[in-house]
């Protein structure tokens, strides 16, 4: 079997020392080696965005990056979004507005929106739609996802002003 390499990953503020083949995708390393199965794989070639995580706080398709490339970078996954039992405003807004059905694409949408709002908290409705059009959902028809992100953005801006 191909050789493995020792890597140390910083995921959601925790350190994971793992030994992985260089060819393993970051998504597989997160899921199989770190046990963080909240990051989902929908296509494994960068189209659907279900595997979106934040690498150095920017949204990244975890299926298009090797695990070994994440050495020395910070990774945030959906498991790191809530504050303990308190949901992140995006998670809360998805819940209140029925922004998920089967929930498979949801972690990717949450991390995509979290990264985008971090970069620009004042996105217009059209900006939000542009960003969200990079991920696929097959259940909701997107209406409630877009609505949830708009409302969460408003909530996050209101909190930031306090």
Q: Least distance in Å: CB of 160 to another protein?
A: 22
Strand arrangement of the beta sheet that strand 74-76 belongs to: 14-20, 5-11, 74-76, 52-55, 58-61
Which neighbouring-strand residues pair with 17?
8
**Least separation in angstroms between CB 161 and another protein:** 25
Stretch that binds another protein, among 54-62, 66-74, 112-120, 142-150 (CB under 8 A): 142-150
CA distance 152 to 162: 16
Strand partners, 10: 15, 74
User: Cα–Cα distances in Å, from 15 out to 7, 44, 57, 74?
Assistant: 10, 25, 16, 10
Interaction between residue 103 and another protein (CB under 8 A): yes
Q: Are the C-beta atoms of residues 132 and 142 closer than 8 Å to each other?
A: yes
83 sits near another protein (criterion: CB under 8 A): no
Binding mask 10-49 for another protein (x = CB under 8 A): -----------x-xx------xx---xxxxxxxxxx-xx-
Instruction: Give the residue with the Cβ less far from another protein, 10 or 136.
Output: 136
**Can you count the helices (H) and strands (E) in the chain?**
5, 5
Pick the binder of another protein from 138, 154, 157, 158 (CB under 8 A). Answer: 138
Q: Which residue has the tokens 């990717």?
A: 108
Interaction of residue 69 with another protein, rule CB under 8 A:
no
Q: How far is the CB of 89 from another protein (least distance, A)?
A: 12
Interface residues with another protein (CB under 8 A) are: 1, 21, 23-24, 31-32, 36-45, 47-48, 50, 77-79, 81-82, 87, 91, 94-96, 98, 100-107, 110, 129-130, 132-146
């Amino acid at each position: 079997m191909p050789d493995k390499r020792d890597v140390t990953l910083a995921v959601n503020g925790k350190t994971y020392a793992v030994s992985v083949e260089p060819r393993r995708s970051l998504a597989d390393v997160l899921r199989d080696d770190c046990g963080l199965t909240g990051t989902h794989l929908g296509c494994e070639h960068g189209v659907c965005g279900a595997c979106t995580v934040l690498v150095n706080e920017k949204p990244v398709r975890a299926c298009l990056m090797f695990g070994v490339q994440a050495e020395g970078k910070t990774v945030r996954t959906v498991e790191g979004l809530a504050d303990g039992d308190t949901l992140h405003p995006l998670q809360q807004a998805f819940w209140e507005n029925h922004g998920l059905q089967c929930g498979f694409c949801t972690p990717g949408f949450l991390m995509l929106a979290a990264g985008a709002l971090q970069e620009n908290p004042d996105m217009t409705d059209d900006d939000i739609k542009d960003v969200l059009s990079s991920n696929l959902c097959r259940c909701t028809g997107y209406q409630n996802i877009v609505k949830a992100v708009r409302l969460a953005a408003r909530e996050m801006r209101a909190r930031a002003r306090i």
